[in-house]
Chain A
């Protein structure tokens, strides 16, 4: 029963992040450094589940991203699949329920996602360099801050099951 409540709470937080992504972000943030709430939700899920399920969730999120902004269909799906897998696997290797570690996961995940997306969509080297050195670090920072706030606000609900 308790485990079921915990799962419901996590799904509730994810629904909140999806609403933030599609309703609050367009109202409050503009530009390429805007935080990506959808990626925070994906990583949150990936860090709590098995790598296979994380990969599937990443693929679904990636297809959604491709449908809404298709520079090249499939690029987002590939990037999100790999990032979700790496997050799930990485969490089992570098495990520590620490705010900084979680922020690092989110920031690193976003930077890697952006790089894979750009490479898979046939971007020029200029786009890659700009994204790698300017826009992706800025977006990674804003997304990591967002992710950290989520982890702090819902720390009890997001703690590993054994700790609750």
Chain B
């Protein structure tokens, strides 16, 4: 046995432990708005070097290992764009005929996802863009497969996104054919294998086939219409005569996604802002 100095806890040690536990407990019960602004400040100041370091590492990884995948995706998109130009012209002509204004675009910025090795990673994600890059709270976070989440908190050079796995995530959904409306939320399951979404509030008279794609409905002013969310895999629960809850397999896995688009859909001006409420 080797000799070490006596390290049994003293009163001073107990005091330090108690202080740290009390501070942590206080942070847990402090309102989220306060703790998030503190976190933003720390990310932009004391922890800026480590965020910068991780950004460079993720960029390096992306540029090396994912180059071929990105090239393939770009080729696919190029083909899609060729088809789209004819549709675009036709759409523009019809809009002119109907005297409808041009469709509003959705500006976006690309961002790297800075994963952390903690068990709650995937519920919230640290993104490498902030308000200096044009990102604002409630901008939506997308990948080519579909919806990942929404920006919850924005700092100068980084932001936090709540993904679909976050307990507070909700989005109004509709089937791709526009026939059935509901609300999409994370599955409230007690089974460990069920990392799924629920499509709630579907009228009992409506039946969805397995494989039906659910997209965002565009209600609520945060998510625009038509972003794929998940695919129906079965009935989760039902209240006879009233409603069914369907299980959806999410189209995006927040745990492995490395590059996202942060987009700001066109939104109606808030009636609470003076000057936006109307006028002649």
> What residues make up the interface of A, taking CB atoms closer than 8 Å to B?
18-19, 21-28, 30-32, 34-36, 38, 50-53, 55-56, 58-59, 62-78, 81-82, 85, 88-89, 91-92, 95-97, 114, 117-118, 120-127, 129-131, 133-136, 139, 160, 162-163
Contact = CB atoms under 8 A, between A and B. Distances in A.
B57 A23 contact: yes
A70 B35 contact: yes
Interface of B: 1-4, 6-10, 12-17, 20-21, 23-30, 32, 35-36, 38-39, 42-43, 47, 50-51, 53-54, 56-58, 60-61, 114-126, 160, 167, 187-195, 255-256, 258
Contact of B4 (A52, A92, A121): A92
B192 A74 contact: no
A74 B119 contact: no
B255 A32 contact: yes
Contacts of B39: 66-67, 70, 73
Contacts of B50: 18, 22, 64, 68
A23 B190 contact: no
Nearest to A95: B4
Q: Select the residue from B4, B43, B47, B54 with max chain A CB neighbours within 10 A.
A: B4
Given A78-B24, A82-B21, A124 B188 contact: yes
22 contacts: A22-B50, A23-B54, A26-B54, A26-B115, A35-B117, A36-B117, A51-B17, A53-B16, A59-B20, A59-B23, A68-B43, A68-B114, A70-B160, A73-B39, A74-B30, A74-B35, A88-B7, A114-B119, A117-B119, A121-B120, A129-B190, A130-B193
A62 B16 CA distance: 15
A81 to B, nearest CB: 4
Contacts of B187: 126
Given A74-B35, A81-B24, A114-B118, A97 B2 contact: yes
B9 A27 contact: no
Given A52-B10, A74-B30, A134 B192 contact: yes
Nearest to B64: A27
B28 A95 contact: no
B232 to A, nearest CB: 20
A136 B255 CA distance: 14
Given A69-B120, A97-B2, 18 more contacts: A19-B53, A22-B54, A26-B115, A30-B256, A32-B117, A32-B255, A35-B117, A50-B7, A51-B16, A51-B17, A52-B15, A62-B24, A71-B124, A75-B24, A92-B7, A122-B167, A126-B191, A130-B195
Contacts of A64: 47, 50
A74 B24 contact: yes
Contact of A78 (B28, B53, B123): B28
Determine chain A's interface SS by DSSP, over half rule.
Answer: helix
Given A27-B60, A67-B43, A68-B114, A130 B192 contact: yes
A51 B7 contact: yes
A75 B67 CA distance: 37
A55 B2 contact: no
A117 B192 CA distance: 17
Contacts of A163: 2
B35 A32 contact: no
Contact of B1 (A21, A70, A75, A95): A95
A69 B20 contact: no
Given A52-B10, A68-B47, A139 B24 contact: no
B188 A73 contact: no
A92 B7 CA distance: 6
B60 A126 contact: no
Contacts of B190: 124-126, 129
Given A58-B20, A77-B27, A162-B2, A50 B13 contact: yes
Nearest to B53: A22
A88 B17 CA distance: 12
Nearest to B257: A30
B6, B13, B35, B114: which has the most chain A beta carbons within 10 Å?
Answer: B13
Contacts of B192: 126, 129-130, 133-134
B120 A32 contact: no
